[in-house]
Amino acid sequence: MPEVSDRRSVLVATGLAAVGVMTPATDALSSDDPEELHDVCVAALDAVVGAYESSELRATAAVLAPLEQATRAVPRQHRLRGRVALDWMRLHAAVTTAAAAAAYDRGRHADAAARADRAAALARAAGDGPLAARALALRARMVRPHSPAVALQIAGVAARIAGHSPTRALIAGKVVTSACAATGDAAGVRSAVARAWQTMERLDDAQFGSPGFALDTYSPADLALACAEALTTVGAADEATPHLERAETLLAGSGQTGMVVSVHMAQARAALAREFPDRHEAASHAVRAVALSADRPAEWLARLVRDVSVLAEQRTGQGLDDLVDTTTPWLHREPEVDVRPTVTLPKARFGLTGPRGVMVQRAGGPPTVPAPRPAR
């Protein structure tokens, strides 16, 4: 249908021009062809993911909300069955995973946890282990500050269903390293770093994708950044430096603002964590990160600036007060409310049981993984 093709072109071309994507994704429900509707929604999701690192997070969430609603409603509206219904379930799980990531990056952790649990259950039910593992990896990151041991258990479940996919490298490099770092386990961090790079070496270049947020790829730039952050946490800032240099090189000219900001902040922290801390170098990186984020303010960055400022004060006697003042308004910019689509999701008959009874939430059911405590 020409009308559907036109809508698809608009979705791909506009990326995260929020209203331009949101309206076609919603209007697409009026079509009678589920296959073409599926193509429209896939194109919209691809546009959102591709622009994630360079778009304001509220705009990202605003686009994903109607897309999440559409991917849930279409199979029910058309009474889809069999393989087609599973394809829609997988797509809805992918959209929900992206929405969970956006909620997490905005500091809305309760919303992110619920979505990640639901996405994992749906993806597993649809037979997509790597996608379910990706959602579980996000859930583990939310649990980690409160219970690294539980985060490692969730990571173990995720790794087993990820197969030999980029998600397996993500789990070792981002989830396991950070959970080990949270307990001061330097040997565990180094072991996870080695496993992650071994996994990456078995992947082909197409599976690396672009740096930054993705649903089915994992870039060496992302892995290098994650390794550096974990090594810095366990007091091995010198070992982190080559990873940071690699990440910086791979990101040069990429336009992936969120990733570039993350690398600058990791460089700032590493500069302060070395045997001889360099406040000037740390401040230079942090200033660049905040400047790059002026059009993409995020709670996670404001918290990271505060942490780096505290570290600077501890190590050099002088914090980064000006940057803390600049980014403080980015904290709690909006109340955490439930913005899940209004269409009711039927209860899933699937759960993911992990070691020692760890389980992600069944869709529509109570969570059995401890929910993150509110930030103080």
Percent of the chain topping pLDDT 90: 68
* Terminal Cα distance for the chain, rounded: 53
340 or 94: which carries more pLDDT confidence?
94
Segment 151-179 mean pLDDT: 95
Q: Which amino acid, residue 365?
A: G
Query: Residues 272, 278: contact at Cβ < 8 Å?
Result: yes
Q: Which pLDDT score is estimated for 334? A: 54
Cα separations (Å) of 22 from 11, 14, 25, 34, 371?
9, 10, 5, 18, 30
Domain boundaries, the chain: 1-127
Check whether 26 has a pLDDT greater than 50: no
Yes or no: say if 231 and 193 are a contact pair by the CB < 8 Å rule. Answer: yes
Q: What is the pLDDT of residues 105-142, one digit of tens each?
A: 998 999 999 999 999 999 999 999 999 999 999 999 99
Q: Is the dihedral of CA 136, 139, 145, 151 positive or negative?
A: negative
Alpha carbon of residue 263 to chain centroid: 16
The three-point CA angle 27-37-131 to 5° equals 115
What pLDDT score was predicted for residue 196? Answer: 95
% residues pLDDT > 70 (the chain)? 80
Angle formed at CA 285 by CA 288 and CA 179, multiple of 5 degrees: 115
Q: Is the pLDDT of residue 25 over 90?
A: no
Domain 1-127 class, CATH top level: mainly alpha
Poorest-confidence range of 62-71, 192-201, 327-336, 341-350?
Answer: 341-350
Q: What tokens does 222 get?
A: 């992302």
DSSP code for 174: I
Closest CA to 333 of 61, 25, 73, 2: 61
Average pLDDT score over the chain: 83
pLDDT at residue 333 in the model: 55
Dist. CA 39–CA 8, nearest whole Å: 7
pLDDT exceeds cutoff 60 at 205: yes
Mean pLDDT throughout 147-171? Answer: 94
Residues found in the chain: 376
Distance CA 369, CA 367 (A): 6
Give the pLDDT mean for 55-69: 93
User: Crossing angle, helix 257-273 and helix 237-251, to 10 degrees?
Assistant: 160
The confidence score (pLDDT) of residue 371 equals 33
- Please tell me the pTM assigned to this model: 0.80
